[in-house]
Each structure stands twice: as C-alpha cells, then as structure tokens.
Amino acid sequence: MRNYFDLRGKVALVTGGSRGLGLAISRAFAEQGAAVIIASRKVENCDAAAREIVQSGGEAIGVGAHVGKWDEIQRLADKAYDAFGKVDILVNNAGMSPLSDSSLLTEESLFDKVLAVNFKGPFRLTAICASRMAEGAGGSVINITSIGSIRPLPQYAPYAGAKAALNALTIAHAFEYAPKVRVNAILPGSFKTDIAKHWPAEKASNIVSAIKRYGEPDEIVSTALYLASDASSFTTGALIRVDGGRP
C-alpha cells in the first residue's frame, strides 16, 4: 500500500522543535524518514530532542538559534545547509504568546519581541530557505500560526496581530515562491503542551469548542505530515484550522 506521508530522502528544519507541537512534528517527520534539524534558543534542549530521535532510529541534529534575530536566522540556515546540503521542508513553529493586562500597559520591548519571534523570524527564514527551494527541487513551508489570529482577544493582542500577519505572509509567499514551493499555515487551538501547565485550572472546563477539550500534541501531526508530503501537492496558500471546532 502507498505511504502517503513518505518523507524518505527529505530534510526538514523545525523551529521551536525541541518541545510541544514542534517536538511532536519533529518526531513524526523522523518516523516517516526525514532528516530533521531541530532548532530553538536553548541548544541543550535541541540536542536532547535530536538524541531521542537518533536513539529511536531516526536522523536528527540540534541547532541553537534565536529566530527573532536576523543574524541568527542566517546562521541557522547556513548550519542546516552545511549539514545536509538542502532543506525540503521548513516548519516555522517557534513563537511566544505572553499575556498583558492592557494594551496601554504593554511595554515596547515586549511588543518588539513578540513580533520578532512570531513574524520577523518566519519572514526571514522562509525568504532564505524558500528561495533556495525554488531554485532547486522545490519544497514545502509550514507556518504554525494560531486560532488567535482570526479569533483575537485583548489579552494577547500583539501575539494575535503577529500571527495574523503570518497568515497574510503565508499567502504572499505561496505566490512568490510558486510553483515549486508550497506555503501553507496551520492554525492550532488550545493544545496541551508545556505552556498549558501555566493555564488556570478552570480553563479546561470552559473550553469553547465543539470537541470541548485541549488538543494533544500528536493531534497536529497528521496535518503537518500532509502539508510536508507530496500528498498536498495541489495545496498552497491554505490556512488550516486544527482547533477542535472553535466558533
């Protein structure tokens, strides 16, 4: 039987890949045969995640990089290409979503950090990698945005704005790097990742969605595999909600 999600011979770069949704995606890509570059700010976490994949029979390396910083983005791309000679799949997953009491009290430094990690980083890293994909055999870019980008609330207005900008960028880049590069976005809802440990207990009983629970990290995997693989060869510029049915 055909394996629709076969990634053998592919190289995937996953930012924010050492934990949460990024780690689930990194593991899944490796299980389907891809070599995975796991990137995040803390190199020790990246190395630990890469070792886990290697011990399970996959191929992976860790690279420490802050994707909110222009120079480090270039260094990350250089290390990926130096290690494997190509990047076929880019997952822009790294993000930060701090809450604020009010827009008036939001500090400029925090605002700038949120936009840098959630928007500037994916913009620059996609420009570097997708341009090379377009010159070569093509590839797939997957932006992890948020249901907050289309269902914004005041508590995370800068984050929602940055992710909305990333939605727009997804469509713009889908046209810029077509036809050889596909660029799509996944809009997750509330997932039970590390950050959920800091959510108030009552949040779990007040989830406004059709499925009425948090998502588990593995529940984003099939969508990521679809977009990374040739199974989605006619899908680009798409914003796919994986949110449990948020109204």
159 is catalytic: yes
Give first-to-last CA distance, the chain, whole Å: 38
Which of these, 223, 19, 79, 41, lies nearest to 140 by C-alpha position? Answer: 223
Tokens of 156: 């995370």
Q: Hey, is 90 helix, strand or coil?
A: strand
Burial class of residue 115 in the structure, from the number of CB atoms within 10 Å of its CB (0-12 exposed, 13-18 middle, 19+ buried): middle
- Find the helix or strand (DSSP H, E) in which 70 lies: helix 70-84
Query: For 49, what's the count of Cα atoms within 13 Å in the CB-facing half-sphere?
Result: 30
The one-letter amino acid code at 211 reads I
Angle at 191 between CA 188 and CA 194, to 5 degrees: 125
Check 156, 159, 214, 226 and give the catalytic one.
159
Count of beta carbons in the 10 Å neighbourhood of residue 113: 15
Query: Do residues 171 and 117 lie in contact, with contact meaning Cβ atoms separated by under 8 Å?
Result: no
Which stretches of 126-189 are assigned E, i.e. beta strand? Answer: 139-144, 181-188
Q: What are the residue numbers of the active site?
A: 159
